[in-house]
């Protein structure tokens, strides 16, 4: 197995250099608590969710999965009256390796799309591993989608135009959500937006070895996240598709997918493989592999030329899906 990694894009390499003291490629389970309470979360709280008053923001408690606590949805909708009927809904699932983050994390991306597309953003707070292993996170995410579809009119949303979207672990949860709602005949999203998604608990692709110790979220972090979610079952024969969508045997009947990933990240090969399998199953998928991109590069270095290109491609796909 080759150990020579593809080079990072020059601008992204420089950005990595600038943040290397603040973020290590490898997260161990002992470090989860420290990162959760670290300065990152605090900074996130300072994000202006109204985007200068453009959005009305509310946190709403809605029923969780059966027998489980309520979940909280962050709902951001344009304060103005809808221009033309109900709005499309971006149902967002945050990232954080299944072990970190809140429904504020990364929501500035969907808010920027919503501003362009006159859409509503709903960002779900799901329970985190290891305290809440599978299926708690994905069931919370499903419960939030149910509420959103059933109460779309309350938030100026159109239940027929829901795009599910997520990055990293959130992307993996979205892919799982698409499988789950297909099988349960639940709400049918019109698109699944999977940004550098975390799909495969086996952690054994060439890219996962190639990028060990490099960039963001290497195979050590990945093992930490999946083990938190699945315990000893991780990598074994009995991992369900709703936990790790790469395990799914049947990828037919899913909504059109957008997938993007960097060529220089752990998830490269599992994301490319998932897109290929969607096509092989007769599905619709758009795949972008950004050369020299590390995990989540467009979030860490949004100014870089590659990030601008990636974000433009994301928005173009959303425009097409939402008509």
Partner 1 sequence: MKELAGRLTALDPDAGAAVRVIAYFDRLSESRAGLEALVRGAAVLSGVPARLFDADRRVQVRVEPDGTRQDSDLPPDPGWPSAALTPDGAPALWLERAAAQPSVVDAVILERAAGAVRRVLDRTRGRAPIDDPALVETVLDATAPEAARLHAARRLGLDPAGQARALAPYDGRPRIAPAHPETEPPHAGHRLGIGPVVPVLDLPRSWTAARTALRFTADGTAQDPGARVVHADDLGGIALLADLVVPGAEPPPDVRAVDTAAAATPWLLATLHAVASTASLRAAATEINVHHSTLQDRLAHAEQLLGWPVRTPQGRLRLQLALTMRHLARA
Task: Note the residues at the interface with partner 1 (CB under 8 A).
Answer: 7-8, 10-11, 13-19, 22-23, 27, 35, 38-41, 43-44, 47, 94-97, 100-101, 105-106, 167-169, 196, 216-217, 221, 295-296, 299-305, 307-308
CB nearer to partner 1: pick between 284 and 305: 305
CB nearer to partner 1: pick between 6 and 159: 6
Give Cβ neighbours of residue 94 (< 8 Å, ≥ 6 apart).
101, 102, 103, 104, 105, 106, 107, 123, 124, 166, 167, 169, 170
Give Cβ neighbours of residue 258 (< 8 Å, ≥ 6 apart).
191, 192, 193, 194, 195, 285, 286, 314, 317, 318, 321
CB nearer to partner 1: pick between 41 and 287: 41
CB nearer to partner 1: pick between 121 and 216: 216
Q: What share of the chain is helix, strand, coil (3-state, %, to 5)?
A: 40, 15, 45
C-alpha–C-alpha distance, residues 11 and 319, integer Å: 28
C-alpha–C-alpha distance, residues 71 and 48, integer Å: 22
Give the shortest CB-168-to-partner 1 separation in angstroms.
6
Instruction: Using the structure block, give the residue that is written with the tokens 């030329």.
Output: 305
The values of phi and psi at residue 56, to 5°, are -90, 130
CB nearer to partner 1: pick between 142 and 294: 294
Closest CA to 121 of 96, 146, 148: 148
CB nearer to partner 1: pick between 108 and 118: 108
Give the shortest CB-58-to-partner 1 separation in angstroms.
21
Give the shortest CB-161-to-partner 1 separation in angstroms.
25
The values of phi and psi at residue 205, to 5°, are -80, 160
Give the shortest CB-95-to-partner 1 separation in angstroms.
6
CB nearer to partner 1: pick between 18 and 79: 18
Helix or strand or coil: residue 86?
A: coil
CB nearer to partner 1: pick between 193 and 217: 217
Give the shortest CB-201-to-partner 1 separation in angstroms.
16
C-alpha–C-alpha distance, residues 291 and 7, integer Å: 9
Closest CA to 128 of 228, 195, 202, 200: 228
Q: How far is CA 86 from CA 93, 120, 159, 163, in A?
A: 22, 9, 9, 14
Give the shortest CB-142-to-partner 1 separation in angstroms.
22
Give the shortest CB-106-to-partner 1 separation in angstroms.
4
Give the shortest CB-88-to-partner 1 separation in angstroms.
23
| Pair type for strands 257-262 and 120-124 | unpaired
């Amino acid at each position: 197995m080759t150990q020579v990694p593809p080079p990072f894009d020059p601008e992204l390499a420089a950005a990595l250099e600038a943040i290397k003291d603040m973020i290590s490629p490898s997260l161990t389970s002992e470090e989860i608590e420290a990162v959760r309470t670290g300065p990152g979360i605090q900074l996130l709280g300072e994000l202006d969710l109204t985007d200068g008053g453009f959005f009305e923001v509310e946190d709403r408690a809605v029923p969780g999965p059966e027998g489980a606590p309520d979940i909280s949805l962050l709902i951001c909708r344009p304060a103005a009256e809808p221009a033309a009927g109900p709005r499309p809904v971006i149902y967002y699932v945050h990232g954080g390796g299944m072990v970190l983050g809140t429904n504020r994390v990364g929501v500035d991306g969907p808010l920027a799309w919503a501003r362009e597309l006159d859409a509503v953003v709903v960002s779900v707070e799901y329970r985190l591993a290891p305290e809440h292993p599978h299926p708690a996170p994905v069931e919370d995410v499903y419960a939030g989608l149910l509420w959103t579809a059933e109460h779309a009119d309350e938030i100026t949303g159109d239940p027929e135009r829901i795009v599910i979207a997520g990055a990293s672990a959130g992307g993996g949860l979205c892919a799982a959500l698409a499988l789950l709602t297909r099988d349960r005949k639940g709400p049918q999203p019109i698109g699944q937006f999977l940004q550098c998604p975390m799909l495969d608990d086996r952690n054994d692709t060439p890219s996962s070895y190639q990028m060990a110790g490099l960039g963001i979220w290497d195979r050590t972090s990945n093992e930490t996240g999946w083990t938190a979610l699945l315990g000893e079952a991780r990598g074994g024969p009995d991992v369900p598709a709703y936990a790790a969508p790469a395990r799914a045997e049947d990828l037919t009947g899913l909504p059109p997918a957008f997938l993007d990933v960097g060529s220089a990240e752990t998830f490269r090969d599992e994301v490319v493989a998932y897109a290929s399998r969607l096509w092989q199953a007769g599905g619709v998928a758009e795949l972008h592999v950004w050369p020299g991109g590390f995990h989540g590069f467009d979030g860490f270095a949004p100014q870089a030329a590659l990030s601008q290109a990636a974000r433009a491609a994301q928005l173009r796909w959303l425009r097409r899906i939402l008509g």
